[in-house]
A = this chain, B = another copy of it.
Amino acid sequence: MNTLEKVQKSLTHFSKSERKVAEVILSSPQTAIHSSIATLAKMADVSEPTVNRFCRRLDTKGFPDFKLHLAQSLANGTPYVSRHVEEDDSPDSYTTKIFESSMASLDTARQSIDTTAINKAVDVLTQAKKISFFGLGASASVAHDAQNKFFRFNVPVISFDDVLMQRMSCINSNEGDVVVLISHTGRTKSLIDIAKLARENGAAVIGITARNSPLSTVCTLPVTMEVPEDTDMYLPMASRLAQLVIIDVLATGFTLRRGPRFRENLKRVKEVLKESRIDKDPIL
């Protein structure tokens, strides 16, 4: 709970002098956080240790710590919290909500990611003879994006959003090939089949999917994460953002592993793209 609210709510539980302190703080929290313990004590007409005890009673380490907590509760901007869009939200309101929910989801996703898996995936990718990215539905565009990115690395890379093409491609895969499967739920039947198919043909299978999902168990290397349920709009939103950022992370890991000379290459690719533009300017 917010510290200021806590002071307010505990008002009755305080002793006489402590209440004096609370009153002073409530009447002007801004002053409180900028005062020393001595000043505050004088304002409340109590002794310094009383103020100190007051702070500890509110589960803080002492006066400076209490000020910190108080300062935070004064800056009462609810940080990125996932909020549902309501029927009568204004454009301004639902825009903000969707952006903030997206950010909040990325945050939870980040916290749930196993960087050891990331590192292994980068290992595998850097050594790949051929990389394929497969996804279906909303995840197909993530695969598409991944293809675009790795294509710049000058590695053989494929992406199909057609189930049959995906199957065919997997049947032709060999030892040294890497198949990256993208699925939010990790329950899409055909993708699970494809994972098995690829393994049977000796390819390494990286799965960007949910922890403990069926897909994650059939992959040779699952890169799992937890993404909060998509909002009440019946559309996939947060999940694919997190997937895209994972792709970014893998791509970045890839370039880091390849070293500085490799990045010169990328620069060249970027230069070439400039010619399709009206002016000097970065990426597409």
Residue total for A at the interface (Cβ-Cβ under 8 A):
95
Contacting pair A279 B72 (CB below 8 A)? no
Once A75-B73, A185-B283, A256-B87 are accepted as A-B contacts, the answer to whether A244 and B245 lie under 8 Å apart by CB is no
Q: Mark each residue of chain A from 187 to 229: 1 if its CB lies under 8 Å from any CB of chain B, else 0.
A: 1111010000000000000000000001000000000000001
Would you call A173 an interface residue if the criterion is a C-beta within 8 Å of the partner chain's C-beta atoms? no
Chain B CB within 8 A of A278 CB: yes
List the one stretch of A49-57, A164-172, A231-239 in contact with chain B. Answer: A231-239
A68 partner residues in chain B, CB cutoff 8 A: 33-34, 67-68, 71
Q: How far is the CA of A249 from the CA of B116 in the complex (A)?
A: 34
Question: Is residue A9 within 8 Å, beta carbon to beta carbon, of the partner chain?
Answer: no
Interfacial residues, chain A to chain B (CB-CB below 8 A): 33-34, 64-65, 67-69, 71-77, 79-80, 85, 87, 89-92, 94-96, 98-100, 102-103, 106-107, 109-110, 113, 115-116, 118-119, 122, 136-142, 144-145, 148-149, 152, 183-185, 187-190, 192, 214, 229-230, 233-237, 239-241, 244-245, 248-249, 251-253, 255-256, 260, 263, 266-267, 269-270, 273, 276-279, 281-284
